[in-house]
A and B are shown apart, each in its own frame.
Chain A
Amino acid sequence: MIERHTLDNGLTVLLKESHAAPLITWWVVYRVGSRCERTGQTGISHWVEHMLFKGTPTYPAGYLDKAIDRAGGTWNAHTWLDHTAYHATLPAERIDLALDLEADRMTNAQFDPAEVESERTVIISERQGSENSPLFWLREAVQAAAFRVHPYHHTIIGDTSDLQSMTRDDLYGHYQHHYMPNNAVAIAVGAFDSATMLERIKAVYGDIPAGTLPSPFTRPEPPQQGERRVHIERPGNANYVQIAYHAPAFGDPDWFKLATLDSILGGPGGPGGGAIGYRTSRLYRHLIETEIAAGASGDLSMTADPFLYKLTAVLRDGRHHAEAEAVILEQIDRLQNDWVSEAELRKAKKQARAAFAYSNERVGGQAYYLSYAETIDSYQLFLTYPDQIEAITAADIQAVAQHYLQPRQRTVGWFIPQVVSNAPYPR
């Protein structure tokens, strides 16, 4: 049972009681992510997220890290393409701390210039950590090639040049532009009484004034007019292939059909799907069992605008990109030409049901998916997930394969390792 309320200032509040553990999780999710960023300010949403941990006049920097830990809780935040989420999970009797701190930093973050400069190197260091992975470079290049117009073009961490040049005022402006109660969804899941919790939330958040909602920054991606290809040539020691197709937004009925296709092709995804193996998936059978690849995966993200369905493989020694690419494309042809079997479809549905149950076992997991869905459309999208999957037919899967997985809709990326001589390998 979920309650949905809208405060007078426009803050959407979702409440779900769950008394399985003496915990409450509190999430405030803003509708701002890398999708809202313009050239020259890529990565700004993520950097703003970092700055919200740098203190307010009420809670100076470092105070809350200690206060949350002292209470036996945990807190964190993440920035995504479409949203930025702040969350804390605490023993139930200590949840006021989370309610108060999120209300405070919704409007009172300071963006002290010295803190901005100190965080600049931390953020660049975070990007450098990602750059240590070959797949980061490949993903970044494929995404940039697939989106020429839409801001999904750039990665969430942002481009190094922007991270070097953005100013304190840029960051503070982004914060003021997007952080307001009417641009946020708040959710509590855990051991509380809903009526009492709602009163408490009204008392803490009700007086925060609504702001002027940011005008949507939408630059729809025009239809792709042909296959695009990118090569990354960097030091490394394995070949990677990624093939990305333009995919529907979360909430589009076709999204659920494509998610089911992905479950059959690449292995279970969606809420909780990572807990289940993929050794009976078609990619495993045709890429791994044929000893072309050492690993393979499919990835369909839940996004507000149409994003990508990505298929990725890391190849075994001596195998060529073209071999893996050919197998992936053969499997896509098969999905377009033939219905999947009843057994495969039945398995995908049971997997979705199990994974959905797993994703609901922790208060944090529930809050994550419910608020995620609400920022895009409605929390109902999450609640109805298993039912949506249950209704899908083999003909549906063939139809989305034919519609979305067309050659001219795809971007193909190869990571081609450049041989360099390292130091002698330590024994």
Chain B
Amino acid sequence: MPDLPGPDNILRHTLPNGITVLIRENSDAQSVVIDGLLRAGAVYEQQHGLVNFLSAAMMRGTQRRDFATLHEELEGVGASLDIDSGVHHLLFDGKALAEDLPLLLDLLNDVLRYPSFPETQVERLRGEMLTGLKLQQQNTRYMASKLFRQHAYPAHHPYHHGLSGEIETISAISLDDLRAFHAQQVGPQGMIVVIVGNVQANAALQAVADTLGDWHNPHQAPPSPLPDAPPITRPTIEHFPIAGKSQVDLLLGVVGPSRYADDFLTARVANNIFGVFGMFGRLGKVIREEQGLAYYSSSQLLGGHGPGAWRVSAGVDPSNVQQAVDSIRQQIARLLAEPVGADELEDNKLNIMGSLPLSLESNEGVAAQIVAMESYGLGLDYLYRYSDAINSITAAQIQETMARYWSPDAFVLTSAGPEIAVPIASVLQ
């Protein structure tokens, strides 16, 4: 498949300061996208929500441009640039008409290296974030997810906490805290910059080198290892009631594999069977199609640089919670007890392999794939090898992988929404 992004059509170069630049030309688009990351995620923060606060504060003004100038330059040409927080990385992405790539790079360089954290802007941002956190307390999906993290990961594990922090921590983070984290953690070592779009690759590489090539941060801290996330060995259940809601959003899951685990791709196929394929897999068929219990019911495998959750999500009427949970547990038991049939396995493999062209249609999709290949060390020829890797997975491996992570009696079940008539703990009785 010569059209797949790979070593034949991606220019990859590591600058002397440690930034890896990857560029893919696409002359069919009028635009260009920039995507990438720096080694400065929430796992390095001491105050919960600091990196999220920092990422937004970096867009509030620099030593060269105040807030208004920065955004006037950006929006004036119909471009966008966002800095965002990730668990392991500080993330950035931008988009512009191809003619405006130099401006986009100049602004990226400015906000990454020279944020000025103007006090008025930072305080305004703090107020917006506090309003947002307050709104989240009323958001059923957010609250179910927050409880899930708290029960699935021990308190000392970074995954125990959300990216957005708490009202108390966001209130307490000072300007000096933001400046100190930026000085100690944000730097070019380990940074990845991906550019995809209507550009000439060598010229774009030169433009990156000209803007970011002289960045050095001798204080940048080395990567730190994640603590272990112990497996879940018993059921843990909690419901968070929120008045005035109509629907219960629930999550039922376990700690899954990281992207580096040998069984990650097997888990991906298993997850596809469980809650993705053919409008949400076996879960969708039973819970939505056959029983009409939910508008949505699917499963997600969230492993990345560490062992993310592997979980089922569903939105159900309060009176149907017990039936939905019973059905989810039956589907887990079935995947553990019976090997997946040959036809079903083949369908799912075809789906995973066949959906690559769709996921790579846009510049954004290609850029995201290149960032993943580089940051997980998959190799730029990963997509060339992908079909063979998926094809080699057997039903026995899927069953073994399910058994490694899942049990019908050991999981975290969290939910939020209206008071549930039947206490959710009774679902196990």
Contact = CB atoms under 8 A, between A and B. Distances in A.
Interface of A: 19-23, 53, 61-62, 65-66, 69-74, 89, 91, 117-129, 131-132, 134, 234-238, 268, 275-280, 288-289, 291, 294-295, 314-317, 347, 350-355, 357-358, 360-363, 418, 420-423, 425-427
B3 interface: yes
B80 A317 contact: no
A119 B292 CA distance: 6
A327 to B, nearest CB: 15
Contacts of A420: 243-244
A21 B360 contact: yes
B356 interface: yes
A132 B76 contact: no
A316 B75 CA distance: 25
Interface string B56-98: 0000000000011001101111111000000000000001110
Contacts of A129: 246-247, 295-296, 315
Contacts of B294: 122, 125
A350 B76 contact: yes
11 contacts: A125-B315, A125-B316, A129-B315, A237-B138, A238-B134, A277-B74, A288-B124, A347-B75, A422-B241, A426-B147, A426-B238
Contacts of A351: 75, 78
Contact of B351 (A72, A127, A235, A291): A72
Contacts of B135: 237-238, 314
B150 A22 contact: no
The residue among A120, A121, A421 with the most chain B CB atoms within 10 A of its own CB is: A121
Contacts of A427: 166
Nearest to B143: A426
A131 B150 contact: no
Given A235-B243, A291-B127, A122 B354 contact: no
Contacts of B150: 426
Contacts of B417: 132
B124 A350 contact: no
Which of under 10, 10 to 19, 20 to 34, or 35 or more describes the interface residues of B? 35 or more
Interface in B271-306: 277-279, 285, 288-296
B361 A350 contact: no
Given A21-B360, A237-B138, A280-B75, A132 B351 contact: no
A68 B83 CA distance: 36
Given A118-B291, A276-B75, A294-B131, A354 B96 contact: yes
B28 interface: yes
B15 interface: no
Nearest to A127: B246
A237 B147 CA distance: 20
Given A422-B243, A426-B147, 8 more contacts: A69-B351, A123-B295, A125-B295, A275-B80, A275-B95, A314-B131, A362-B361, A422-B240
B45 interface: no
Contacts of B241: 422-423
B132 A294 contact: yes
Nearest to A54: B289
A116 to B, nearest CB: 10
B75 A277 contact: yes
Nearest to B27: A20
Contact of A289 (B124, B249, B295): B124
B323 to A, nearest CB: 11
Contacts of B20: none
With a 10 A CB-CB cut-off, give which of B72, B130, B244, B291 has the most chain A CB atoms: B244
Given A20-B29, A21-B357, A70-B350, A354 B244 contact: no
A278 B74 CA distance: 10
B240 A354 contact: no
